[in-house]
Structure formats: C-alpha cells, structure tokens
A and B are shown apart, each in its own frame.
Chain A
Amino acid sequence: MRVLLVEDTTDVAETVAAYLVREGMACDVAGTEADAAAYLDVQSYDLVILDIQLPDGDGRALLRDLRRRRDGTPVLMLSANFSVESRVGSLDEGADDYLVKPFDLRELSARIRALSRRRFDRSVPEIVVGDIVLDPSAQTVRRAGTLLPVTRRELALLVLLMSNAGRIVSKGRLFEGLFSFDNADVGLNAIELYVARLRKKLAPSQVRIRTHRGLGYSIEAAADE
C-alpha cells in the first residue's frame, strides 16, 4: 500500500511517515502543494493524507484538482483548525475522511485501514428515497449530491426508515435500533426528538418523515403522496 503524506510540519511528517512504514506501508512525504502535485503526476497512490494549511496554498485546492481529473484516490484531510463548515466543505470537495490535529498515530492508521478497506468494499448497495441517498458502507447521507452532517444515531434512524420507505416503523423498533447497543438509558420520547432533528436536516428535500400517531413513523418521497 502506497501513501502520499502532504504535510509541511517536518517533524510531524517524518514521525508519521516512519510510523506508517513500520505499519508496512510505503510512504512519500511532500511538504508543499507543488511537491504533492509533482508526486501525484508520476505515481499513483492508494491514499493521500492531505494537510489543509500548506505553505504554498490550500490543501483543498489540490483535492479539487485531483477530483476534477476524476482521480478517485481516497483522501484523508488533516487540519488543526477544523470548523464544521470546512469539515463539511472538504468532504463535499471529495475528501473521504478527516482527522483533527492533534491526533493519535493509532487513530490515523485505523482510519487509513478503514479507508483502504472501504475502497474495495462496495458490496452494500446505496439506499435511495427521493433525492436522499444513503451509503451504508461509507456511512454518508447526501441530499441531491450534497453531504448532510448526521450523527451515528441519526444515521441508524435513517437507515431503519429508508430501508422501510413508505412503511410505518414503530417507535419501539426505532428505539431498539438506535439504543440497543448503547450504554444508554434513554426514554422512548427521545425518538421524537431524533425524528425532529432529522426532519430539520432533511428539510429542503422532497423526502418527508410522517408521524402516524400511536403507530410510528414512515419516510416517503413527497412525490408519492
């Protein structure tokens, strides 16, 4: 497995590279956007680890170039200053994952392994309802191509509803799906709040979550009504 590490802080780059080599990966280090572009021109990689702040530009520009060339190499973004917008922004621009500095090396290698696995693991089909596309393997939800920020439980709720699109899913079943593996002790009424959160996030979409009093919830595309 060959990894390109684009990171301008030399000691961090060297340490990370040494660690990745110990983990059995081949690792090239580029300190600038220009160097990185040069590496990418002559070599194909299984993964690019990309710092957002580079001395000669923004790592996201490199990412955009990469995606414009239809290069699907997985990209893991690194940044010390990851506001929610730039997170979602870089995922939108085609990054596959992000890691906020400071991070643990173990965490980094776990993410790298997950990304490389995901690349070859496309067996689980996407779930589509209206303009909402849920990718269970990537754990992402997109509305008309735009990534929606959802939490783990919101995703679980959405998977349950979307894989039963048009059918009523009882509150109890949703509750089990959301909390059965949790160390949590949560009332049934939390489901209502989660549904409200999801509704807010899905708001501009044509997909609606409907409440069936006493029965549960169902999701359907507005056109079906």
Chain B
Amino acid sequence: MSDGRLSPDPGPSPRTGPGPGTDPGPGPGPASSAPPDPAVPRGPVAAGATPPGTTLSLKSRVAVAVAAVVLVGGAVVLATALAYGRHAAREAYDRLLVGAASDIAESITIRDGTPEVDMPVSAFELLSLARKDRIAYRVIDRAGRTLTGDAAAPAPETLRDLSLYSGAFGDEPARYAAVVRRFAERGYSGPVQIIVGHTLRARQELARDIAQNALAVLGAAGAAIALFASLAVASAMRPLTDIGAALARRDPTDLTPLRAPAPREIAALRDALNAFMARLDRQLRANRDLISNAAHQLRTPLAAIRVQLEAAADDPDPARKEALLTRVHERSRAYGRLLDQLLSQGMVLHRADAIAKERMDLRDAALEIYEQSDIEVFATGLRLRLDLPDDPVTVEGDLLSLTEAGKNLLTNALRHGTPPIALGVARTGGEARLWVRDAGPGPAPGVLKRIGDRFARDGLSRDGGAPGGVPHTSSSAAGRSEGSGSMASDAVEPKVGGSTDRVSPTAASPDGACPADAPPCGATPGGAPRGGGAPQTTGAAMGGGLGLSIAQTVADNHGGRLSHGTDAAGFEIAMILPVAPA
C-alpha cells in the first residue's frame, strides 16, 4: 500500500497529527509499484488457493427441464388417452350390443298371440366381434316372462326404448343393452324387451391398446424432444466452449480482444471479457512504463550521488569536501522526492481504473492540497494564496488522485515559479477548474508544448525525463532565493538529456563540482536551506515533469484536460474537469 506515501516531499512531516487528514480508507495501492505490505495479506494468494466451485452443468439443467416437461405432459396425455380409450371402447362395443339387440328385436314375430324369437345369425356375428367375451341374451314379454335366453341376465330398472347399463355376468362385470320393441297386434299388444350383454374383456383390451399406442407416441416424442434439446444445448454452448478454448490457447501475455463472432447472449460475455482484458492491459502497460521509467529516472540522480561521493572521498580540501557532501545530501533528498512521485504516478494510474468516481466538491480537493503542501509552503517561506468560491464546485472525481495531481502542480510552482503563488478553484460554465498561478512567465514555450504532446500521447514520459524538466525561463528567477541560479541554467539548456550533463566527469572535477556550462550553481552548496529553495538538481527538474505527467494522467482519467497560459499577471496551469450534472 503506498497511499500513505503521497507527499512529493519525502522529508519527515512535522507533527501535525497522524497523517494527511482526509485520506479515505484502505484504498488498494498500486498493485505492482508498491512493495507488498507484510501486514496486509494480498488478495490473489488467498483467492487462488481454492478454485471456484462448479454448479450444475447447463446440459443437466436443460435435461431436468425437458424431463419435467415430458413427465408432467406425459402424465396429462396418458390420463387423457386412458379416459379417451375407455370412452371410445365403450361407445364402440355399446353400439355392438345395441345392434345385436336391435337385430334380435327385428326378428321377433307374433304368432298366436305369443312373441316368437327366431335368433338371427347376424346378431351373433356382431357379438362375435368381441371374441373373448361371453355373451348373454334374454327376451322378456310384456308379463315379464323370459321367452328365451338366460334368465340371469339383469333387466334395466326402467322400461325405456333403449337402455345401456352395467351389470354382472356371473362373477364378472358386464355391460348390457336393453331394447324394447312394442307390438300392437291382435294377439299381443305390449312391449317385448330384448337384453343383450357381454363381459368387458374386449373393451378393456381396446382401451389398453389405445392407451399403449398413446404412450408409445408420447415416448417417441419425449425422446425426440430430448434429442433436439441436447443438440440445441450443445450448439448453444459451443460458442462458450470456443471462447474458453481460445482463452486457454492464448499466450499468457496476449491481452488483445477476442474477435470470434458469437451469438448475442454470449457476445455480451465476450465483450465484458474484452473490456476486462483491455483494462488489465492498460494497467500492465502502465506498470511496465512506470517500472522502466522509474529505473531510468532513478539511475541518473543515483549516478550523480555516486560520482559526487567518490569525488568527495578523494578531495583533500575540507571545504570542497563539505560542499560536495552537502550536494550529495540535497541530491538524495531530491531522489526521495522523485521516488515518491513515481509511486504517486503508479497510484493515480492504478486508481484511474480501480476506483469509482464519486460526487465531490473540488474545493475540498483544493483544501486537501493546501493541507498536504503545508510543510513545503512553510519550508519555502513563500506566501500561498488560496482562492475558493463561496459555492461548491461539484465534479465526479477521486479526491485522492485529484489531490495528488494538484499537489504536484503546486509543488512545481513552488519550486520553479515566481511568487506570489496562488491555488484556487473556479467554475466557468460547465467546466470546473483547479488552477495554480505564479507571477513568472512560465516554462519555455517549446518545453511545455513538448510536454503536452508527450503526455497527451500516453501520459508517461518514457525517457530520462529531461523534457519533463519543466524549467521556467524566468528572467525574474533572480528574484528567487538560492537555487534559482541553477534553475535558470536548466532553462537555458532545454535539450534532451541536458540534465544528465551533471553526471558527466566534469561534475567530479575538483574545482566547483559543477558542469562548466552552469556557472551559477557554484553558489548553491554553501547555503542550501533545508527543504526550501532546493537546488534545481536533475532530480527536482525531472520531478517537475513527472508532476505534470501525474496531473495529465489524472485530468485524462477524469474526462478533463490540462491547460496552461501566460498573461500579464503570470503563468497559470489548470486541470479542467467537467462539472457534475446536478
């Protein structure tokens, strides 16, 4: 976690309390730019220990759903089929019974006042259609006597032209039809009732047949549904498997987006994956840049420290030795500041993606910058004006990043600008401005333009940081205290790599320990005050560029921009952010 190491001045802060006040809770530090905090267990380790669980496979889910549909649907269809089968069988065989009874009725004649039955063959042919069933028939005259047939066959309870009813045939259930034929002849006037019945085996068989067929059809349909469902699932899942396979096949460093076309539902997943990888890629790239940048930037002041130390060790003159050691001391302080800025650059890059923006008052950011730069302002002995409007200036932002950016702009002004220095917030139309002003003419135009170009491109200075030197061409630099001399020397030497000249062997030369092209720096060593008026060494100059880069990164990340301009009153640099909608 590096959140605590934000101050551009690594020097110990005076005792004002436990830390920069409004630092929000435990925000994650830049993943790779900060050394791991031993007290804090790192997430990935814990998360990697147990693989995430697997839930029921999609195929099984579909299978369960299809099985449920087939089972419930099947039960309903089966019940319907059985009922229908029974109904159909009853209808068919009842007609048979009625037909046979009618045949018999037709064949009855009255002879001598007595009904006579001449059993027709057709009736038995009809009844023989139910082959396994036993048949009973009975003909009853008007007096209720059985004229012919089986007297055990039950008669209907009421006398109607046609009755269909269930009864017993011995100990078997049976179905009977009763038909009444009415005679009005001389010898016989009244009804003759013909009863025909049979057992139920054929009916049951028919019902069973119908049900069985229905069941067979149902089974076939179920199988077909299952087959098609499984095919559909397999085809629906294929794009997912494809994406998985494509990811597995990939080179571990390949974070380019997946290009394979996919159905709409899965395209959402693919796009989310792509967005995730893009974010990862951005962070990886930023971290890579940061590391190479850091290595590069830190090597230069380290080289200076080393040669100056060696020179000091060899120098027989105590006064020059003392001067060299003082320079080394200042260098190492600048080195610390640079390190802090690199960490802070890493932090803002990390937070750009990792931290959600929230509505905040930009005035709070200005105040926080003011609070955190307290020590530095105090050390420089400069007057700082804080210019805040009476009404809130609301933006969507990350307080920590905005503070970091503003602090770096302010630090640049304090180190390189001409007093008076002012920090403020303003709102013009739909834009919020967090600005820093000083009375100087600002950096050389070419330098700023290069910075703008460079940082507009990728937000990071890639090489030794020389162009980031943001040396102010202040002719009024003479008005500044110690150190401004060499600041001017940086300014007149804007060429890339110019700052590294300090590391050249001339720096180690016994006289002056100064590059020949920077005459005024000889004045620096003796009275360099602590903190304030720090000599504008390579580290500090580079820090200025890095500071701008931090501000640029934060502005970009907030959908804003960095703007600068010079007028009669001096130089102003501002972060311009969109005002949050009300």
Partner of B11, one of A58, A104, A141, A201: A104
Stretch at the interface among A21-29, A40-48, A183-191: A183-191
Contact A186 B21, CB 8 Å, known A58-B39, A81-B34, A107-B12: no
Decide if A201 touches B21 in the complex (CB within 8 Å). Answer: yes
> Measured between alpha carbons, how far is A203 from B4 in the docked complex, in Å?
22
B363 is an interface residue with CB less than 8 A from chain A: yes
Contact A139 B15, CB 8 Å, known A149-B21, A189-B390, A193-B388: yes
Please, which residue of chain A has its CB at the minimum distance from the CB of B384? A184
Residue interface bits A136-148, CB-to-B below 8 A is 1, else 0: 0001110000011
Chain A count of residues within 8 A CB distance of the other chain: 50
Residues of A within 8 A of B (CB): 53, 58, 60, 80-88, 91, 97-100, 102-104, 106-108, 111, 114, 139-141, 147-155, 183-187, 189-190, 193-194, 196-197, 200-201
Contact A139 B17, CB 8 Å, known A81-B5, A187-B386: yes
Residues of B contacting A154 with CB < 8 Å?
17, 21
List the 5 closest pairs (A to B, CB-CB), nearest first: A152-B16, A83-B4, A185-B385, A83-B1, A84-B23
Q: Determine how close the nearest CB of chain B comes to the CB of A146; give it in whole angstroms.
A: 11
Interface SS, B side: loop
Please, which residue of chain B has its CB at the minimum distance from the CB of A179? B386
Stretch at the interface among B370-378, B496-504, B505-513: B370-378
Contact A155 B17, CB 8 Å, known A82-B4, A102-B336, A184-B385: yes
Residue interface bits B18-33, CB-to-A below 8 A is 1, else 0: 1111110110010000
Decide if A183 touches B10 in the complex (CB within 8 Å). Answer: no
Residue from B22, B377, B378, B420 having most chain A Cβ neighbours under 10 A? B22
> Measured between alpha carbons, how far is A202 from B297 in the docked complex, in Å?
42
Decide if B21 touches A150 in the complex (CB within 8 Å). Answer: yes
Decide if B17 touches A140 in the complex (CB within 8 Å). Answer: yes
B224 is an interface residue with CB less than 8 A from chain A: no
Please, which residue of chain B has its CB at the minimum distance from the CB of A188? B390
> Measured between alpha carbons, how far is A58 from B38 in the docked complex, in Å?
9
Please, which residue of chain B has its CB at the minimum distance from the CB of A103? B12
Please, which residue of chain A has its CB at the minimum distance from the CB of B387? A187
B289 is an interface residue with CB less than 8 A from chain A: no
Contact A186 B386, CB 8 Å, known A83-B2, A111-B12: yes
Q: Determine how close the nearest CB of chain B comes to the CB of A144; give it in whole angstroms.
A: 16
> Measured between alpha carbons, how far is A30 from B239 in the docked complex, in Å?
63
Residues of B contacting A190 with CB < 8 Å?
367, 386, 388
Decide if A87 touches B4 in the complex (CB within 8 Å). Answer: yes
Pull 26 A–B residue pairs with CB atoms less than 8 Å apart, ordered by A.
Answer: A58-B38, A81-B4, A81-B34, A82-B4, A87-B4, A87-B19, A88-B19, A100-B10, A102-B336, A139-B15, A149-B18, A149-B19, A149-B21, A151-B20, A152-B17, A152-B374, A153-B371, A183-B383, A183-B384, A185-B385, A185-B422, A186-B370, A189-B390, A190-B367, A197-B21, A197-B367
Decide if A107 touches B11 in the complex (CB within 8 Å). Answer: yes
Decide if B18 touches A147 in the complex (CB within 8 Å). Answer: yes
Decide if B12 touches A99 in the complex (CB within 8 Å). Answer: yes
> Measured between alpha carbons, how far is A140 from B16 in the docked complex, in Å?
8
Decide if B21 touches A86 in the complex (CB within 8 Å). Answer: no
Decide if A151 touches B21 in the complex (CB within 8 Å). Answer: yes
Residues of B contacting A140 with CB < 8 Å?
17
Q: Determine how close the nearest CB of chain B comes to the CB of A51; give it in whole angstroms.
A: 12
Q: Add 9 more A-B contacts to A104-B530, A183-B383, A201-B21 (CB < 8 A).
A: A84-B3, A104-B12, A147-B18, A149-B20, A150-B16, A151-B16, A185-B422, A190-B388, A193-B367
B interface, how many residues as a size bin? 35 or more
Decide if A184 touches B383 in the complex (CB within 8 Å). Answer: yes
Q: Determine how close the nearest CB of chain B comes to the CB of A119; give it in whole angstroms.
A: 15
Please, which residue of chain A has its CB at the minimum distance from the CB of B531? A104
Residues of B contacting A184 with CB < 8 Å?
370, 377, 383-386
Residues of A contacting B17 with CB < 8 Å?
139-141, 148-152, 154-155
Residues of A contacting B381 with CB < 8 Å?
183
Please, which residue of chain B has its CB at the minimum distance from the CB of A196? B364
Residues of A contacting B25 with CB < 8 Å?
85
> Measured between alpha carbons, how far is A182 from B229 in the docked complex, in Å?
78
Residues of A contacting B370 with CB < 8 Å?
184, 186
Residues of B contacting A99 with CB < 8 Å?
12
Please, which residue of chain A has its CB at the minimum distance from the CB of B22? A197
Residue from A147, A148, A149, A200 having most chain B Cβ neighbours under 10 A? A149
Decide if B18 touches A139 in the complex (CB within 8 Å). Answer: no
B212 is an interface residue with CB less than 8 A from chain A: no
Partner of A83, one of B5, B10, B383: B5
Residues of B contacting A111 with CB < 8 Å?
12, 15
Please, which residue of chain A has its CB at the minimum distance from the CB of B335? A102
B566 is an interface residue with CB less than 8 A from chain A: no
> Measured between alpha carbons, how far is A44 from B418 in the docked complex, in Å?
52
Please, which residue of chain B has its CB at the minimum distance from the CB of A192? B390
Decide if A151 touches B371 in the complex (CB within 8 Å). Answer: yes
> Measured between alpha carbons, how far is A196 from B384 in the docked complex, in Å?
22
Decide if B18 touches A91 in the complex (CB within 8 Å). Answer: yes
> Measured between alpha carbons, how far is A168 from B12 in the docked complex, in Å?
36
Residues of A contacting B12 with CB < 8 Å?
99-100, 103-104, 107-108, 111
Partner of A81, one of B1, B367, B530: B1
B382 is an interface residue with CB less than 8 A from chain A: yes
Residues of A contacting B3 with CB < 8 Å?
83-85
Residues of A contacting B377 with CB < 8 Å?
183-184
> Measured between alpha carbons, how far is A46 from B438 in the docked complex, in Å?
47
Decide if B37 touches A86 in the complex (CB within 8 Å). Answer: yes
Decide if A86 touches B364 in the complex (CB within 8 Å). Answer: no
Residues of A contacting B364 with CB < 8 Å?
193, 196-197
Residue from A111, A148, A154, A185 having most chain B Cβ neighbours under 10 A? A185
